[in-house]
């Protein structure tokens, strides 16, 4: 298992989408992730590994990790952020670091295209309508997001988009995959780790995952489905599953 793990670390350094910043010096170093100790990756069941709190199921091309409900009423811009990120406008928050999640996705078969979002630029600190009008639709691997939790002694599970309401169509967000675009690197910084954004409903190329359905460029139509989202601070389990996995042999 160590060999594909090191390969994933190398891919993180080499293939993460990098915006074309001509102001950066040509010899600026890429952001090499700090290689974790081998004990960070532990087999917990046949074919299932734990990496810094993220469970990797290689056979089913799925990663699973804990989160909590952080928002359930009003407009949202994210469905998930790190707990130190913009949790005031995100359905969920997690202690998982974006970079660890990205490495985990590489380990389950994510294939990146370094040129897919070559023209994408870091957004302003506060994403607004003016930015969204010109922001490109991001490209990447299709990934299914799901959420599971316990309610009244019973386990419930549903696609994460089921927790989001589209005010323009007056219906829940349409079902289907999200886009794993893999964030950006700017001046040697992996921006998902700096911004702490994981999954966005409006265009944010610093987030690992984006919504690319119609309305991805409209900050005024996405809101939490209060009648579906459980109470604040409810612990949940999030799964990211590759819709079109690419498996490489160790």
- On whether the CB atoms of residues 98 and 231 are closer than 8 A, the answer is no
Residues forming a β-bridge with 185: 190
Note the pLDDT of residue 246. 57
Digit-by-digit pLDDT tens for the chain (250 residues) are 434 444 444 444 444 454 444 444 444 444 444 444 445 889 999 989 999 999 999 999 999 999 999 999 999 999 999 999 999 999 999 999 999 999 999 999 998 887 888 778 888 878 888 888 888 889 999 999 999 999 888 999 999 999 999 999 999 999 999 999 999 888 889 999 999 999 999 999 999 999 999 999 999 999 999 999 999 999 999 999 999 765 443 3
For residue range 89-110, what is the model confidence (pLDDT) as tens digits? 999 999 999 999 999 999 999 9
- Write down the pLDDT at residue 71: 96
Strand partners, 61: none
Give the pLDDT of residue 185. 87
Q: What is the CA radius of gyration of the chain?
A: 17
| Cα–Cα distances in angstroms (integers) from residue 141 to residues 59, 112, 124, 210, in the given order | 18, 7, 25, 10
Q: How far apart are CA 117 and CA 121, in angstroms?
A: 9
Handedness of CA 157, 70, 178, 9 (dihedral sign): negative
Q: Say what the pLDDT of residue 131 is.
A: 84
The pLDDT of residue 39 is: 54
* CA gap 124, 16 in Å, rounded: 20
- Give the start-to-end residue ranges of the domains of the chain: 2-242
Q: What is the pTM of this model?
A: 0.83
Which residues are CB-contacts of 203 (< 8 A; sequence separation ≥ 6)? 123, 127, 131, 132, 135, 136, 137, 138, 210, 216, 217
State the pLDDT at residue 187.
84
């Amino acid at each position: 298992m160590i060999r594909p793990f090191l390969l994933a670390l190398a891919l993180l350094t080499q293939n993460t989408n990098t915006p074309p910043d001509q102001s950066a010096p040509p010899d600026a170093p890429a952001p090499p992730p700090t290689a974790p100790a081998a004990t960070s990756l532990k087999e917990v069941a046949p074919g299932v590994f734990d990496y810094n709190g993220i469970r990797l199921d290689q056979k089913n091309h799925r990663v699973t990790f804990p989160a909590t409900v952080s928002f359930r009423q009003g407009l949202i811009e994210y469905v998930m952020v790190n707990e130190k990120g913009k949790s005031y406008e995100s359905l969920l928050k997690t202690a998982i670091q974006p970079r660890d999640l990205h490495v985990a996705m590489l380990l389950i078969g994510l294939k990146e295209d370094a040129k897919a979002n070559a023209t994408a630029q870091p957004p302003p600190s506060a994403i607004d309508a003016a930015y969204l009008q010109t922001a490109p639709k991001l490209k990447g691997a299709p990934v299914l997001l799901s959420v599971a939790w316990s309610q009244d002694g019973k386990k419930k599970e549903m696609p994460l988009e089921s927790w989001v309401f589209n005010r323009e169509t007056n219906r829940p967000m349409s079902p289907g995959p999200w886009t794993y675009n893999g964030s950006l690197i700017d001046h040697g910084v992996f921006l998902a780790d700096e911004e702490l954004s994981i999954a966005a409903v409006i265009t944010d190329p610093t987030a690992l995952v984006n919504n690319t359905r119609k309305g991805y460029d409209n900050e005024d139509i996405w809101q939490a489905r209060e009648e579906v989202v459980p109470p604040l601070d409810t612990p949940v389990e999030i799964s990211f599953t590759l819709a079109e996995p690419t498996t490489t042999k160790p």
